Amino acid sequence: MRFYLFIFIASLTLACNNAAENANSVSSNSTNKPTANSEPMIVPEYSYEIVNTYNHDPQAFTQGLIYYKGSLYEGTGGYRKLDRFSSSLRKVDLKTGKVERKFDLADDYFGEGITIFDDKIYQLTWKEQTAFVYDINDFRLLREFRYSGEGWGLTHDGTNLIMSDGTHVLRFIDPETFQTVRTISVFKENGKPQMELNELEYIKGEIWANIWQKDEIIRIDPQTGKITGRIDFGKLADEMYEKVPQSDVLNGIAYDAEGDRIFITGKKWNKLYEVRIVPKVQ
């Protein structure tokens, strides 16, 4: 009897140890997504101060914005048959807002996010599953790539392109093959997917993203997908909607790394703003 009791106790101890090891394994592999029993993530909130104001074409339906070597580059969207204006790629003088070079996409393409990598401009399209690559000097078309799903925002981290598609998933893409290298998922503080990630910019090791139809920008850890901050531009957007009735949502982030300057605008806004990010006063 003592022999069987010994075997029973030994087996029970082994089972408990295995269960503990499995629990530790699950814990070490968990993501930043909160579980049902965990406390919601606390994300720092920020506001802004306006440093400078510049003119912006109020007819530009801004989809992508880049600051590069002293100039702004802008991608706009539109179907000529539906919107009465074509999608375009533009080089813009920052101080005056004057369009210095412009390339109109074919009428059946709706232009989306842009980025500049290795002196080439990459531009997504919305539903056409096609990316265009241009020579930065004359906007000459160099290559085309195909991809699945929709194209929304585009930036890069110095190695890979980073693309949004309207979901909570960001794709890291090889700029030579346009093949997806990896993905990250972005979740809200309550654990729900942060959908409709739109225009993107890579700033000081973080991905900054517009949220479609929201007057805020979120900051994202590119390794984990964790939201590291929310920037409220609601007051600025409300003022624009009141002054310029045809203006649409906040969309467009550009970063001057050399001058450490951040620029933002919106679809059909008549102004572009250089802003300084500050903690939000509660």
| Contact status, residue 236 vs residue 228, Cβ threshold 8 Å | no
Q: Where are the domains of the chain?
A: 45-279
Integer Cα distance of 48 and 236 in angstroms: 9
Span 45-279: which CATH code? 2.120.10.30
- Tens of pLDDT, residue by residue over 230-259, are 999 999 999 999 999 999 999 999 999 999
pLDDT at 38 over 60: no
Residues making up the chain, counted from first to last: 282
Number of neighbouring beta carbons within 10 Å of residue 279: 10
Average pLDDT in the 43-55 region? 98
Report pLDDT for 19.
36
Mean pLDDT over 7-31 rounds to: 38
pLDDT tens across 123-136, in order? 999 999 999 999 99
User: pLDDT value at position 80?
Assistant: 87
pLDDT in tens, 134-191: 999 999 999 999 999 999 999 999 999 999 999 999 999 999 999 999 999 999 999 9
- Backbone CA torsion sign across 48, 261, 64, 246: positive
CB-count burial class (<10 Å; 0-12, 13-18, 19+) for 162: buried
The pLDDT value given to residue 83:
80
Q: What is the mean predicted confidence (pLDDT) over 2-22?
A: 39
Q: What is the pLDDT of residue 33?
A: 57
- Residue 47 and residue 60: Cα distance in Å, rounded? 25
Report d(CA 55, CA 95) in Å as an integer. 7
pLDDT, tens digit, for every residue of 103-113? Answer: 999 999 999 99
Determine contact, residues 28/237, Cβ cutoff 8 Å: no
Instruction: Please count the other Cβ atoms lying within 10 Å of the Cβ belonging to residue 209.
Output: 27
